[in-house]
């Protein structure tokens, strides 16, 4: 069955936390809520769960209106950022706890616990208490308990945020496999665009309580509907600069220009925003067809496998990304460039107009 939100909104202390939302999540799908802190991800999940009631709109489970149903009466399980396990119970008893509430037989409980333990690599830890296992294993235990309920909707609110890098990467790979086998609707909240892409499925981007776009994750990433969505789905933040469109040409502040294809050239002339992601900002201006800029280095950040470099260009501060540890001198001059096909064009309202043209021969064709 599907979960459908119809014109759902929520006001808290006179402030609109969730603007009217229309979403339909299908059975057996992974759905990511992507947005910065305070974007409304947790508020939206609480409405889906029945922990809060919407001020307007309705929530449907299949054809049934569940808007007024308590969370206890819904087919839902939740996994939180903090490990929520019963400290006095063993891993086995934690996983079994919702099944006991469902009055399952001892044989059914044991079979399900063993199944979940094998799935989440907890088989050898079933007799231990949560305090006797690692943080990643504790989170696996919480996930196993949620999956053991065999519910139709599983909500996960930044469940990997407190784990170390290795454990996060491990579970990011495992989670889509686990969810695909369950057949339930999964909703996963995160602040990290990379995590949303790794999980796959669908992504709903949120900004200040609004769902700005919803669709297959890779499509939302590659074809953001507007500048806000592109900003949400970019980490580091998307670089931007004001440009002027004149016919089939886009003119940059440094005198560089790029061409437009026929469809994009139909828009009225005037000022637009050009935006591009950090990994598309190259350190060399020699690449044929690229738009090149002379910049000054402001700062660098070494992450181990990559180097972020911050530069000042045409009155803007941009961030670029290069592979490996690199050594730069603060204040040095750098020539950077970006391929036209990696530059989004947004109008004054922030709506995506299109991308610039990689092949000048196509312009106006």
Query: At residue 363, does pLDDT exceed 50?
Result: no
Query: At residue 166, does pLDDT exceed 80?
Result: no
Q: What is the pLDDT of residue 91?
A: 96
Q: What is the pLDDT of residue 71?
A: 87
pLDDT class for 209, splitting at 50, 70, 90? very high
Q: What is the pLDDT of residue 360?
A: 47
Tokens at 238, concatenated: 């998307």
Query: At residue 196, does pLDDT exceed 50?
Result: yes
**DSSP code at position 252:** -
Tokens at 164, concatenated: 């170390």
Cross-strand pairs, 319: 310
- Alpha-carbon distance of 153 to 72, in angstroms, equals 13
- HSE-CB at 102 with a 13 A cutoff on CA atoms is 19
- Percent of the chain's residues with pLDDT above 70: 97
Tokens at 277, concatenated: 């992601």
Reported as a single tens digit per residue, the pLDDT across 253-301 is 999 999 998 888 999 999 999 999 999 998 876 667 889 999 999 999 9
- Alpha-carbon distance of 1 to 168, in angstroms, equals 30
Query: At residue 82, does pLDDT exceed 90?
Result: no
pLDDT class for 75, splitting at 50, 70, 90? confident
Mean pLDDT of 230-245: 94
Cross-strand pairs, 308: 301, 321
Residues 6+ apart with CB under 8 A from 294: 254, 313, 333, 334, 335
Residues 6+ apart with CB under 8 A from 208: 38, 39, 40
Reported as a single tens digit per residue, the pLDDT across 301-313 is 988 788 999 999 9
- Alpha-carbon distance of 20 to 54, in angstroms, equals 10
Query: At residue 183, does pLDDT exceed 70?
Result: yes
- HSE-CB at 134 with a 13 A cutoff on CA atoms is 11
- Alpha-carbon distance of 215 to 24, in angstroms, equals 10
Mean pLDDT of 318-334: 90
For residue 237, the surrounding DSSP H or E stretch is none
- Alpha-carbon distance of 155 to 183, in angstroms, equals 14
Q: What is the pLDDT of residue 163?
A: 72
- Alpha-carbon distance of 200 to 120, in angstroms, equals 20
For residue 26, the surrounding DSSP H or E stretch is none
Instruction: Report the predicted TM-score, pTM, of the whole model to 2 decimal places.
Output: 0.88
Mean residue pLDDT across the chain = 90
Nearest to 156 by CA among 59, 49, 17, 6: 49
Based on DSSP, count helices (H) and strands (E) in the chain, helices before strands.
Answer: 9, 20
Tokens at 85, concatenated: 């396990």
Tokens at 265, concatenated: 């050239």
- Alpha-carbon distance of 347 to 272, in angstroms, equals 5
Cross-strand pairs, 154: 77, 186
For the chain, which domains are there?
3-232 (3.40.50.300), 239-362 (2.40.50.140)
Q: What is the pLDDT of residue 146?
A: 85
Q: What is the pLDDT of residue 171?
A: 76
Are 152 and 119 contacting, i.e. CB atoms less than 8 angstroms apart?
A: no
Lowest mean pLDDT among 165-169, 193-197, 267-271: 165-169
Reported as a single tens digit per residue, the pLDDT across 112-137 is 999 889 878 899 999 999 999 988 88
């Amino acid at each position: 069955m599907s979960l459908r939100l119809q014109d759902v909104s929520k006001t808290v202390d006179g402030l609109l936390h969730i603007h009217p939302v229309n979403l339909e999540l299908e059975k057996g799908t992974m759905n990511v809520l992507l947005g910065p802190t305070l974007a409304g991800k947790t508020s939206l999940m609480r409405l889906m769960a029945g922990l809060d009631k919407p001020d307007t709109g309705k929530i449907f489970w299949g054809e049934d209106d569940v808007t007024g149903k308590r969370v206890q009466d819904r087919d839902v399980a939740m996994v939180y950022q903090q490990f929520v396990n019963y400290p006095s119970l063993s891993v086995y008893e934690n996983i079994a706890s919702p099944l006991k509430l469902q009055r399952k037989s001892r044989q059914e409980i044991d079979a399900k616990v063993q199944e979940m333990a094998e799935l989440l690599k907890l088989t050898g830890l079933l007799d231990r208490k949560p305090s006797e296992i690692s943080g990643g294993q504790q989170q696996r235990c919480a996930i196993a308990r949620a999956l053991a309920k065999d519910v139709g909707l599983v909500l996960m609110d930044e469940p990997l945020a407190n784990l170390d890098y290795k454990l996060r990467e491990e579970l990011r790979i495992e989670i889509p496999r686990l969810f695909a086998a369950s057949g339930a609707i999964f909703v996963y909240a995160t602040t990290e665009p990379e995590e949303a892409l790794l999980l796959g499925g669908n992504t709903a981007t949120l900004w200040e309580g609004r769902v700005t776009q919803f669709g297959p994750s890779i499509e939302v990433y590659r074809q953001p509907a507007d500048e806000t969505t592109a900003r949400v789905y970019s980490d580091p933040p998307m670089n931007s600069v004001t440009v002027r469109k004149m016919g089939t040409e886009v003119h940059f502040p440094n005198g560089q220009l790029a061409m437009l294809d026929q469809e994009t050239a139909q828009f009225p002339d005037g000022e637009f925003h050009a935006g591009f992601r950090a990994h598309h900002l190259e350190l060399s201006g020699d690449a044929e067809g690229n738009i090149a800029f002379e910049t000054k280095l402001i700062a660098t950040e070494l992450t181990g496998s990559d180097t972020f470099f911050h530069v000042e260009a045409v009155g803007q501060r941009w961030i670029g990304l290069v592979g490996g540890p690199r050594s730069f001198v603060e204040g040095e001059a750098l020539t950077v460039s970006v391929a036209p096909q990696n530059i989004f064009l947004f109008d004054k309202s922030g709506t995506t107009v299109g991308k610039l043209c990689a092949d000048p021969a196509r312009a106006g064709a």
